[in-house]
Amino acid sequence: MDIFEPYFKAGEIARKTRAFATSLIKSGVSVLDLCEKIEGFIKSQGGEPAFPCNICINEVAAHYTAEYMDSLRIPEQSIVKMDLGVHIDGFIVDTAITVALDEKYMLLKEAAEEALRKALKSIRASVSVYDIGETISKVASTYNLKPIRNLSGHEIARYNLHAGISIPNIPLQGGKFKLYGVYAVEPFITEHWASGTVIESTKPVIYRCLSYKKIRDTEANVLLKTLWSRFKGLPFAERWIHNMNLKCNVQNAWFKLKNSNLIKSYRPLVEISKGSVAQAEETILVVEDGVIELTGFPL
């Protein structure tokens, strides 16, 4: 199992970071400060963020991270998803929790956690992702809630957060879990009256380099080369670029680069009918007798 040691190290950092982050999530807290403290904690423990810390509030389900100079604060009586990733030399783990700042959201939180717990107990090598989607969907139904049908977990590979098969939250045909495969399982649950579907909303706040090739614009090329070298195709936040000390006009270079076909953008994903959303996530390694929970989600 020595080849998986980087995953175990990343998982331990993610476990500590998740506990640290949970203690910070309170009404009135700056989302920018929260993201930067969580990302800084990961680095202080010897890891690197595998993607920008996501802080998603109420009907925002995924892909929101603080913008540069972001003024957003955690609202009172809200439900907050905190999704973080850690990598050691490209070996990634991914975990998320929900913090309910009002009693009315506890059912959503509990349903997401129970769906994750039951899903993890069902996973073995050669088990179909259809069965896991069915398990998650049944738990949601038991709570009189709905799974998000167009969000899913994912296989993970080195420097590749979304590799191979997806793990749906509803029964959908797909692949099967492989022995020694690494996967992030993440139920998303919303309210019974909601659509159960997310759509893209507002402007992108997360980006990813698709490849590196030399481009004619000198400043944009310096920035692209730096982004590819530093992140190797993993997601990054626009605010991270403002902290780079480069010998070019970073703002001008980024303006040119982000509109090129070398950069993929990710917009926040919002439940289409404004239903509040809860999330729970664990990264697992599939072994002969079941799974190893790499980030030790508190179940």
Give per-residue pLDDT as tens, 30-66.
999 999 999 999 999 999 999 999 999 999 999 999 9
Closest CA to 53 of 85, 6, 81: 85
Q: In this structure, are residues 75 and 27 in contact, taking their beta carbons and an 8 Å threshold?
A: yes
Alpha-carbon span 60 to 38, nearest angstrom = 19
Residue from 94, 113, 134, 155 carrying the catalytic annotation:
94
For residue 251, pLDDT over 90 is answered with: no
Give the closest residue to 51 by CA, choosing from 171, 159, 204: 159
Catalytic (active site) residue 110? no
Q: 134 an active-site residue?
A: no
- Phi-psi category of 229—alpha, beta or left, where left has phi over 0 and alpha has psi -120 to 50? alpha
Supply 283's token pair. Answer: 């990264």
Mean pLDDT to the nearest integer, 81-93 = 98
Asked about 67 being catalytic, the answer comes back as no
Q: Which of 85-94, 126-135, 141-150, 208-217 has the lowest mean pLDDT?
A: 208-217
87 belongs to the catalytic site: no
Which pLDDT belongs to residue 246? 78
Active site residue 154: yes
Residue 247 has pLDDT above 80, yes or no: no
Among candidate residues 186, 191, 271, 282, the one labeled active-site is 186
Mean pLDDT over 140-150 rounds to: 98
3-state secondary structure of 181: coil
Q: Please identify which of the residues 12, 155, 191, 281 carries the catalytic annotation.
A: 281
Candidate list 39, 48, 59, 83, residue with the active-site label? 83
- Above 80 in pLDDT, residue 218? yes
Q: What is the pLDDT of residue 1?
A: 62
* CATH ID of 2-201+269-293, from 1.20.1440.230, 3.90.230.10, 3.90.1170.50, 3.90.550.40: 3.90.230.10
Tell me the pTM.
Answer: 0.96
User: What value, to the nearest 5°, has the Cα angle with vertex 241 and ends 56 and 19?
Assistant: 40
From the candidates 39, 63, 110, 154, give the one annotated as an active-site residue: 154
The average pLDDT across 140-164 equals 97
Contact 85, 124 (CB under 8 A): no
242 is catalytic: no
